[in-house]
Amino acid sequence: CLDLADAVWEIANSGEAAFRPLYPDHLSLKDKIETVATKIYGAAGVDFQPGVTAELERLESFGMASAPVCIAKTQYSFSDDPKLLGRPRGFRITVREVTPSAGAGFVVVKTGSIMTMPGLAAKPAALNMSIDADGVIGGLM
């Protein structure tokens, strides 16, 4: 793992990394969802359940048109079906709900039967983490 971390560090700091966002901010929320689903997840397309398209348009009218999307899906697959393990191809992903995370500045896209976490601890675990002068990480467990 450290070799991989070192390689990523080297590339990131070499000035040769050519990061480009997947989609421009001006793309509609619906188009952003379709772009992630087809270009990253390998989906053939996206199905929006009744009311989702209207909700996306409402969020755009409230000033969230340029917000990025965060797609909540099963952890077992790039699809919304936990039985399609890994990175299947040619499937359709179903968007059943979208919710704004206005404070964080993005739109959460809920797919399939995914449930979101009810909340976070009052004290984030990150407060217990540290890196000393020698690069040793502490407080993870």
CATH code of the domain in which 111 resides: 3.10.410.10
| pTM of the full structure | 0.73
Give residue 85's domain range. Answer: 23-138
- Please check whether residue 4 lies inside any domain of the structure: no
The verdict on residue 8 lying in a domain is no
Q: Tens of pLDDT along the chain (141 residues)?
A: 789 999 988 888 888 777 789 999 999 999 999 999 999 999 999 999 999 999 999 999 999 999 999 999 988 888 888 898 988 999 999 999 999 998 899 999 999 888 777 666 778 888 899 999 999 999 987
Domain-embedded: residue 3: no
User: What is the DSSP-derived secondary structure letter of residue 68?
Assistant: -
Decide: 92 and 45 in contact? Cβ < 8 Å.
yes
- Has residue 11 been placed in a domain? no
Total domain count, the chain? 1
Residue in this structure with the two tokens 């690069």, named with its chain if needed? 135
**Does residue 7 belong to any structural domain of this protein?**
no
Is 65 domain-assigned? yes
